[in-house]
Structure 1
Amino acid sequence: MPPLQGVKLFEVSVNREGPSMRLRLDLAAYPENPPKKWSAQGFNVVHVELYFGGVDSVRMAGISVNPVVDISLRRGEKISLEVRSPEVNVSATADSVHILRMQAHADEEPAG
């Protein structure tokens, strides 16, 4: 898993099916050795979508139009998620976490 500090958070969504939760974010740093396809297309940002299944608790406080957050994941009996910034705080516990999608794109203001 790449570092999840200083990431741009785009979406936190909770769904009663599962119940589940999804986070969409741009990583703070572009990989040193990206796939050739990404380099050839001039991409400079990696977008990740995380899926949490079997969510049994969620707490959210604050909102921002452009939050830059630090995310931590800990494994115990459950997966513990903490999303923190001065404006946004999210915590949750879930049975599992998966990377649903990882793709690159070009951004005028590159991450990292």
Structure 2
Amino acid sequence: MWYEHFTNNKFISMIYTNVPSLKNLRIEKIEISREGDRITVGFDLPFFADEPPKKWLERGYTTTYIEIDFFDIQEVNIKSSKNTYRGDINIKKDEADIFIVNITGTISAEIKAGSGIIQSVRGY
């Protein structure tokens, strides 16, 4: 699964019995920062956590939101013709341990990065 490529994946494994695949997502953001050396991809998972934290339930949250940061950017291509972003995200690593991220849908993007981290998992 996609999350297994990240060392910081324990929390997501704790709140989902079966972590969902990244299909038909609402993509909140693709942000380029640090002079192009970091790209943040933020999206809603397709269904809410099976075992959410107590405070998420108390606050009435129904959506799980993920932000992943990619660093050491080697290549990026982004194309979109709409202002709402929905699509599939495919995250894998190649034989040189480089992240290959492909986003397809109303936005198309390809990111090649040397490292990545699940920066945040939160509810709303």
Shorter-chain TM-score range:
0.7 to 0.9
Q: Distance in 2 between matches of 1:69 and 1:97?
A: 20
| TM-score normalised to structure 2 length | 0.77
Percent identity between the aligned chains? 19
The aligned counterpart of 1:32 is 50
| TM-score normalised to structure 1 length | 0.84
The aligned counterpart of 1:97 is 116
Q: CA deviation at 1:57?
A: 0.2
The aligned counterpart of 1:82 is 102
Q: Distance in 2 between matches of 1:39 and 1:16?
A: 35
- How do residues 46-85 of structure 1 correspond to structure 2 at under 5 angstroms? 46-76=64-94, 77=96, 78-85=98-105
Q: Distance in 1 between matches of 2:81 and 2:118?
A: 24
More helix by share: 2
Q: Distance in 1 between matches of 2:87 and 2:110?
A: 12
List 4+ stretches of structure 1 deviating above 4 A.
Answer: none
Q: CA deviation at 1:64?
A: 2.5
Q: Distance in 2 between matches of 1:80 and 1:74?
A: 5
Q: CA deviation at 1:18?
A: 6.4
RMSD of the TM alignment (CA)?
Answer: 1.5
- Of 25-34 and 8-17, deviating more is 8-17
Give the AA of the match of 2:28: F
Q: Distance in 1 between matches of 2:118 and 2:110?
A: 18
Q: CA deviation at 1:63?
A: 3.8
The aligned counterpart of 1:5 is 23
Which blocks of at least 5 consecutive residues in structure 2 are unaligned?
A: 4-18
Give the AA of the match of 2:107: V
The aligned counterpart of 1:108 is none
- How do residues 15-26 of structure 1 correspond to structure 2 at under 5 angstroms? 15-17=33-35, 19-26=37-44
